[in-house]
Amino acid sequence: MDGPAPAPPRIEPPRVAVATRPLTIMETVRKARRNVLEIVPALAYRQPMLSGVTVKRWHMVMDPGALERVLKDRVESYPKSPVTKRLLKPAIGDSLFNAEGAHWRWQRRAAAPVFAHRHLVALAPVMTAAAARSARRIGDEMSARGRIDAYEQMIAATFDVICDVALSGRETLDRDAVSTAISSYMETVGRVSLLDVLSVPTWVPRPATVFRRKSSDLRPLMDRVIAARADAPPREDLMDLMRFAEDPESGRKMTPAELRDNMLAFIVAGHETTALALSWALYLLAIDPAAQERARTEARAALGDGPAEAAHLPALTYVGQVLEEAMRLYPPAAFLARIALDDDRLCGRPIAAGDILMLPIYALHRHHMLWDDPDAFDPDRFAPEAAKSRHRYQYLPFGAGPRICIGMGFALMEAKLILATLLAKWRFAPDGPAPEPAMNLTLRPRGGVGLRAAAGV
């Protein structure tokens, strides 16, 4: 006699070691250097808010209602940390990502239509082509080495996309130079900014000089691409959409320098983050063969033998759920920071002007008051019905409120097209030690994501 269907096995992927006792300032510095998330105490996964003093008074906010107040209702009173902004400035100027107040508002108004759905659909063929190339590169790497590092592969795939839509094209670019400049930028600025968010004294050595040198490589490169565009016929890519974008209220357009800084901000904010969402999704599917089979069945039914295109997106619901669950467990932007400009109250506690607010998205997404079995991988949490009962501010991979990620639609489309294409073609299994989630600016898989890929049919 048939009994009830067996429950799917519980999959618990790697997580960050949590601090179970208060840390001294030097321990905080040491841990923040190694992995920022290790300074998040165990209590942060169970309490709505924690407060303390490490040089300055700080608060860690995990309560969805308080997060809504900080990120939306009182957004003007909680700007991004000025120190972080000053550090980012040499690389991305006063671009959308970095600006505040009126200078942020006009840029956001000008750039918002660039990311409208109809433009994203027009960019999709580039993503489809990059997905197909990625599937081929994985085959080549398997033939050459018998294994892949999914993180490296996904960095290559999203870099392909950004080159084609932001910089098209390949002809004006030294791809290796850009790639190296971006990754050393991420390596260095990540560590710098968190030490500063915590107001760690300036005598603690920082790799800022390295960062300035490396980030400066990117700017002249982008200037050359922009100059080459001045005489070229218009194209419908991100660069030209931004080149002709204007603020509907003032009619203001970007100067070449503003355009450069914003394009660099898109690359820095968009390329590695999307690769991370994909790498973690591939890893999670590799350790959960049943979920992988379900996603593959969906992808093959929609795609047949070709790569995924925009028209297939509505049929890729489970693939989308896998990505959402991957970004819950491993949010690429796992830790945001703000500073209080005014006195306020959050969760009934006083906030004083000058206090630092840490928003540990990683802990929010694994919070025991908000999620059932928070450390387990379960894409069904994001089934359309289940998602309806959630507080909007308990799941924030792209932030929220007026400063929500402007590239969210772009990133989700790209990630879905790439993941579906790879799953339809390949079957993935883990190879080697599990990656360690470690954060500096973004949440990276330390040790890489070792996988084997076999033809998936």
The contact set with ligand HEM (CB under 6 A) reads: 80, 96-97, 108, 265-266, 269-270, 273-274, 277, 332-333, 336, 397-399, 403, 405-407, 410-411
Nearer to ligand HEM, 17 or 404 (CB): 404
d(CA 414, CA 402): 23
Q: How far is the CB of 182 from ligand HEM (least distance, A)?
A: 13
Q: How far is the CB of 13 from ligand HEM (least distance, A)?
A: 18
d(CA 114, CA 122): 11
d(CA 303, CA 283): 22
Nearer to ligand HEM, 19 or 260 (CB): 260
The pair of structure tokens assigned to 237 is 């890519």
Determine whether the annotation assigns residue 405 to a binding site: yes
Nearer to ligand HEM, 35 or 107 (CB): 107
* Crossing angle of helices 289-303 and 317-329, rounded to 10°: 140
90: enclosing H helix or E strand: helix 82-92
Q: How far is the CB of 332 from ligand HEM (least distance, A)?
A: 4
Q: How far is the CB of 197 from ligand HEM (least distance, A)?
A: 11
Nearer to ligand HEM, 179 or 300 (CB): 179
Characterize the bridge pairing of strands 442-446 and 148-149: unpaired
CA-nearest of 434, 437, 439, 438 to 449 is 434
Nearer to ligand HEM, 265 or 364 (CB): 265
Nearer to ligand HEM, 19 or 168 (CB): 168
Q: How far is the CB of 327 from ligand HEM (least distance, A)?
A: 6
CB-based closest residue to ligand HEM: 407
Instruction: Classify residue 185 as exposed, middle or buried by CB count within 10 Å of its CB (0-12, 13-18, 19+).
Output: buried
Q: How far is the CB of 71 from ligand HEM (least distance, A)?
A: 7
Characterize the bridge pairing of strands 336-339 and 356-359: antiparallel
| Helix/strand/coil percent split, the chain, to 5 | 55, 10, 30
Q: How far is the CB of 414 from ligand HEM (least distance, A)?
A: 7
Nearer to ligand HEM, 109 or 300 (CB): 109
Q: Is 404 helix (H, G, I), strand (E, B) or coil?
A: coil
d(CA 449, CA 59): 33
Q: What is the DSSP string of 10-46?
A: P-----PPPB-SPPPHHHHHHHHHH-GGGGSBGGGGT
d(CA 371, CA 389): 11
Q: Could you tell me which residues are annotated as the binding site? A: 405
What residue numbers does the annotated binding site for heme cover?
Answer: 405
